[in-house]
Amino acid sequence: MAELIPQHHLYAQTPAEALEEANHILNDFGGSIKEWNSRIAKTEGYYNQFRECVSGRGDTGRECQQYIDLLYESAGIEAHEAVMEAKMTMEEILSDFESSRAFQMLGDAKKGFSDAAAIIGNAKNVIDFVDQFQKYNPEGARGDPTRGLLLIGEAIGGAAGKLPYPMNKIFEGYAESVKIIAGKLVDLQGKIENARQGNLGGGWSSYANAQAYFERNFEKSGGYATEFFDVTSQFSLLGSNVQVFQNFVSLSMDYFVYDRSFGRERGWIVIREFQTVYRYFDAMPAQYRGAISEGYRAELMVSQARSNPGVFIDQAKQHFRLFSESVRNYIHQRILEEMGLWESMRLLLSDGESSFVGLWLFSSEKHNEIRRISDVLTQYVYAEGTVMRETATGREPASNIPVELDVEDGGFGQSVSDANGAYFVFARGRLDSRFTIRAGQGEDLFEDSGRFYQQGFNNWVLVLKKVERTPVRLTLVPDAVTLAIGESTSFTATAVFEDQTVMDITANPVTFWSSGNNTFTASEAGEFVITVSYMGITADALVTVEEEETEQEIEPPVCDEVTEVWDDELQRCRCNTEEGYEFSEELDRCINIKEAIEEVSEENGYLCDEIAITARLSRLQEIAATGNRISANFQNTLNKFYKEVNDQNSNPCENTIIAVVYAEALQTLADYRFMIDEARQISTELILEGAICAAYDLNIDLSSILQLVSQTGQPVHVMERGIGEMENQFNIFSCNTHDVTDRGDTIAERTDPEIIQAGGTGAFEICGDGIDNDGNGLIDEGCETEGNFNVIIVLYDSGRLPDDVFGLAVSGQGNLGSTPEGGSRTYPLRLPPGSYIATVTVIRAPDNIGTYTIRILENGVEIASMSGAPPQGAVIQVPFVVGQYGFQAVYNSNFSDLRYFDRIIEQDETLENW
């Protein structure tokens, strides 16, 4: 290794010569590192070849084994043992070498040399910085630049003794070289120290602030006592107000960053990854670097370096690899093109990996774009192709056809075919996800299901086929209308099918209108019947045309007989000022101030009573809160209405629950209107008193009163809109709203809380509402004899302690609700033939023993039953089949047993042996 130490650089006579000597030493040592790193790489290569040869892995291993086999086969039998011994010896050598961790130490030593090379490179920067003594800054190099080199030399020297030949010799030479250079720098340090004594003023000001900040915040606090060198020139993009110093002594090689941007003083000690983060920032395109103000760059990069950047950099590189592979993936290209992301991905890749990582780390816009593209590449699936329709001449492209993609445990996507029948539909999903694709509507349909064995399907032809569906009834809206001569009206025809789905058939080619089309224009007085026909079913609407009046007197609007009079000049009502009435903008009506004051005084004893005013204001707030509560509860009422309309197979016109819900909605609206009248009266009084009693400094906030009054009107709009939706449903199913209202009022009276007393005396059970109306601990008992049901499920607590609660769900029907505590519930259902599973859940069991019994009957015949005592939270599945027993079985049914069971429940008898 002596050739690595240039002998003619050992002695320097002047400081300038010493600096030049150090510079040469460092340059020579840098070249030596490259040379010996090459030798280490060769040694590694030999070792890897030897390991592959012995293990038989890789191309080298296969060649070695073939050679050994050839030697074994070609040699005489007397040489076989020698060949096998040689092979075993090689394996033992490899085993010993692996167990000594020599190869691992080689990697560790290489890392140490990388650190040494970095330290030497930075030390060289220091020497370059002080190339001339007159420019040397005493604060630019804080401390001893040789300590780190000595530490590296000792570490390498220690490792060299543990490595096998020839690595140990290589590392010993390295260690000696480092120690000799360190010694030269120690000698150089003394010369520099002597030279700097006369040059303290050279550049002190440019480092004084950084020095003071470091001592104040890090060095004197005991946090750091290390030496840092100025490396600001390596971080020029941070701006002129930032200085960066690096610790060359410690192997951690951390940084001290000092920032005076915006006139404020800040500083950070940050780990070595700071340089890595900066490198990625530097690699970004200039326009994205420029988007980050210089004043914030240092803080941003310090934050990135402290936040485990290795993890984020690895993620960014994974995205880069994913995108790079996607460039050659046609499926990825198609979905990105359709979502407008293909060119964005190509631009992100165009400047290479380092630029990509920089954008990932520092540009929120590009980071989000990368995330979006990655999400599409890994979390979306698609199908594309053509929608075709069968015609007399063959298949033709079908335009403007809706296409839907429904992915199980994923998302839902839809699109429409273009003029050429082409479609592209995508949705959230992954490989192997199940999906259903549909095209068309009405009678022209396509539907198929499968799995995404690849991320997208191309050139998929969807052929629409005719699907025959049989309607059960038609509806016309409106079903009755009154017109004057010359007026027109249009009708909407809807078909209701067996599966309770509906379809607008107004413009269907096979729909026939008695009037020629769905529009009627009144030309003469009388009554006319409009008939619509579709697939053999008809519906009628009545049109009444009134007689034309020859002379029609225009009567003025009716004015309030007390507060208003008609003004012929203005042609409108005005306040009756002759009687003392004036218009109030706050109340939006005419009032008599004097009478109002007298009325308020009579009702409240005397004016400006703060207690009375507070009480009326509280009442107004109570009415507003009641309105909000009614509005929220009304939505639940509307949901219950739609649940019955959509989920039950019984006729909505005869449905008891629907009738009760509708009647309650009408009554709630009527009751609330009275409350609104009261609110308006209270607000009038408060506004008047607010004006009259201003001198008393009473706290009457006019704007809050008006706001409360305006709130009371919102629930009315909610209820009116909801009742209108209910009545539209009645029109679709051709229900007579008067009959529904009468039925609902009758039932509502029977279930009034004043009638329902303890034990249910005087009350009636309403079948299917899920409520214990008669208060006997049984829900919907007796449903077996009412309604259009074919399946009855009875679930009850069959233990000695009536304290358990169970829930029931049936496949295809959803959650059907829970039983009363310790009681029974009857679930009436209308189920088509097929296999089902009833799921019982033990919702509550205080003793952790949920004693249950479930009985399932079809038309009175028991088709399944089960009992048990599982713990709380348990789920039990009971399979059953519907369709084995028709309605004729009712004559030989168990309904009598079921009614006997109800009596047992009421008498609180044990059910264990029933």
pLDDT tens for 336-358 read: 998 899 999 999 999 999 999 99
pLDDT tens digits, 381-405: 999 999 999 887 888 999 999 999 9
**Given this model, what pLDDT does residue 119 score?**
47
Least confident of 257-271, 553-567, 766-780, 815-829: 766-780
102-105 long-range contacts, CB within 8 A, separation 24+? 102/162, 102/163, 102/164, 102/167, 103/47, 105/159, 105/162, 105/163
> What is the pLDDT averaged over residues 690-718?
66
**Highest mean pLDDT (candidates 132-146, 194-208, 498-512, 613-627):** 498-512
Compare 739 and 329 and report the one with higher pLDDT: 329
> What is the pLDDT averaged over residues 559-570?
80
Ranges of each domain in the chain: 2-203, 210-307, 312-466, 471-546, 607-731, 781-906
> What is the pLDDT averaged over residues 594-606?
57
Q: Which CATH number does the domain 471-546 belong to among 2.40.160.210, 3.40.50.360, 2.60.40.10, 3.30.70.20?
A: 2.60.40.10
- Give the whole-number percent of the chain exceeding pLDDT 90: 16
Burial 824-844 (b: 16+ CB within 10 A, else e): bbbbbbebeeeebebebbbee
**Given this model, what pLDDT does residue 10 score?**
33
**Given this model, what pLDDT does residue 434 score?**
93
Confidence at 860, pLDDT banded by 50, 70, 90: confident
**Given this model, what pLDDT does residue 2 score?**
36
The pTM score is 0.40
- Give the whole-number percent of the chain exceeding pLDDT 70: 61
Helix and strand numbers (H, E) in the chain are 21, 34
**Given this model, what pLDDT does residue 419 score?**
92
Compare 777 and 522 and report the one with higher pLDDT: 522
Residue 149 neighbours by CB under 8 Å, 6+ apart: 116, 119, 120, 123, 178, 181, 182, 185
pLDDT tens digits, 471-494: 888 888 898 999 888 888 999 998
**Highest mean pLDDT (candidates 59-63, 554-558, 642-646):** 642-646
Least confident of 403-407, 682-686, 719-723, 784-788: 784-788
Beta bridge partners of 875: 841
Compare 77 and 303 and report the one with higher pLDDT: 303
In this predicted structure, the answer to whether residue 322 has a pLDDT above a threshold of 90 is yes
Q: Do 445 and 438 contact (CB within 8 A), yes or no?
A: yes
In this predicted structure, the answer to whether residue 180 has a pLDDT above a threshold of 80 is no
In this predicted structure, the answer to whether residue 749 has a pLDDT above a threshold of 60 is no
In this predicted structure, the answer to whether residue 629 has a pLDDT above a threshold of 70 is yes
Confidence at 817, pLDDT banded by 50, 70, 90: confident
pLDDT tens digits, 632-678: 777 777 777 877 777 555 577 877 778 888 888 888 888 778 777 77
**Given this model, what pLDDT does residue 910 score?**
39
CA dist 601 → 584, 590, 618, 620, 686 (Å): 19, 19, 19, 19, 12
d(CA 100, CA 104): 9
Compare 583 and 632 and report the one with higher pLDDT: 583
Q: Do 623 and 679 contact (CB within 8 A), yes or no?
A: yes
Please tell me what DSSP assigns to residue 218: I
> What is the pLDDT averaged over residues 52-57?
69
In this predicted structure, the answer to whether residue 185 has a pLDDT above a threshold of 70 is no
> What is the pLDDT averaged over residues 12-32?
54
**Given this model, what pLDDT does residue 29 score?**
55
**Given this model, what pLDDT does residue 221 score?**
53
Q: Which CATH number does the domain 312-466 belong to among 3.30.70.920, 2.60.40.10, 2.60.120.10, 3.40.50.720?
A: 2.60.40.10
Confidence at 201, pLDDT banded by 50, 70, 90: very low
**Given this model, what pLDDT does residue 855 score?**
92
In this predicted structure, the answer to whether residue 124 has a pLDDT above a threshold of 60 is no
Compare 39 and 579 and report the one with higher pLDDT: 579
**Omega cis (within 30) before 166:** yes
Cα four-point dihedral sign 271, 276, 282, 285: negative
DSSP H or E stretch at residue 604 = helix 593-604
In this predicted structure, the answer to whether residue 380 has a pLDDT above a threshold of 90 is yes
Q: Token match 């490396």: residue?
A: 231
What is the identity of the amino acid at 891?
Y
In this predicted structure, the answer to whether residue 206 has a pLDDT above a threshold of 70 is no
| Domain 781-906 annotated CATH 2.60.40 | yes
Q: What is the residue-averaged pLDDT of the chain?
A: 73
Please tell me what DSSP assigns to residue 375: H
d(CA 696, CA 374): 69
In this predicted structure, the answer to whether residue 332 has a pLDDT above a threshold of 90 is yes
pLDDT tens digits, 864-887: 999 999 998 888 999 999 987 654
**Given this model, what pLDDT does residue 30 score?**
56
**Given this model, what pLDDT does residue 73 score?**
58
Look at residues 895, 716, 904 and name the one whose alpha carbon lies nearest to residue 824.
Answer: 904
Q: Do 817 and 840 contact (CB within 8 A), yes or no?
A: no
In this predicted structure, the answer to whether residue 828 has a pLDDT above a threshold of 90 is no
Q: Do 688 and 657 contact (CB within 8 A), yes or no?
A: no
Chain centroid offset of residue 789 CA: 41
Whether 312-466 shares its CATH topology with 781-906 is answered: yes
Q: Token match 């076989």: residue?
A: 80
**Given this model, what pLDDT does residue 253 score?**
74
In this predicted structure, the answer to whether residue 722 has a pLDDT above a threshold of 80 is yes
